[in-house]
Amino acid sequence: MRQLARIVPEPHGDVVTALIEGEIDMSNAPAIGNRLRDLLTNRSEALVVDLSGTTYMDSSGVALLFSLADELQRRQQRLHLVLPEDSQLVRAIRITGLDRAVPTHPTVDAALAEFH
């Protein structure tokens, strides 16, 4: 079985970024969610999920991000997304309203600027 997505984490103090490269679908969304959750500690302020390397995401990926945003909010942490304007995911994220529920940024640097 091939790996659909790879997660590349990078800590930035109390904010963690996680680049997701590849595809997110129903076969790997639960594992991706678990991996993203594992990146956070009780001291983490936020998780920035970088979708610039994500080539495909179905409804289970969108549901994962909605769920993760709610979970983090209950823990007094925040979820932010990096979504370049030329991303293949822009349309799906706008149609589902995810961009209204979770702050989106064109770059990782723009997302991180929210925390400094």
Tell me the mean pLDDT in the region 19-41.
96
Q: What is the mean pLDDT of the chain?
A: 95
Model confidence over 84-96: pLDDT tens digits? Answer: 999 999 999 999 9
Tell me the mean pLDDT in the region 16-42.
96
Is the predicted pLDDT of residue 42 greater than 60, yes or no?
yes
Beta bridge partner(s), residue 11: 16
Comparing CA positions, the residue from 59, 35, 57 lying closest to residue 47 is: 35
**Is residue 33 within 8 Å of 68, Cβ to Cβ?**
yes
* CB within 8 Å of 48: residues ≥ 6 apart: 15, 16, 17, 18, 79, 80, 81, 82, 105, 108, 111, 112
Question: Which long-range contacts link 71-77 to residues 24+ away (Cβ below 8 Å)?
Answer: 71/37, 72/40, 72/46, 72/47, 77/40, 77/44, 77/45, 77/46, 77/47
Q: Token pair for residue 94? A: 């706008």
Q: List domains and CATH numbers for the chain.
A: 5-105 (3.30.750.24)
Q: What is the pLDDT of residue 77?
A: 97
Q: What is the pLDDT of residue 3?
A: 65
Confidence of residue 111 (pLDDT cuts 50, 70, 90): very high
Model confidence over 63-78: pLDDT tens digits? Answer: 999 999 999 999 999 9
Specify the pTM.
Answer: 0.95
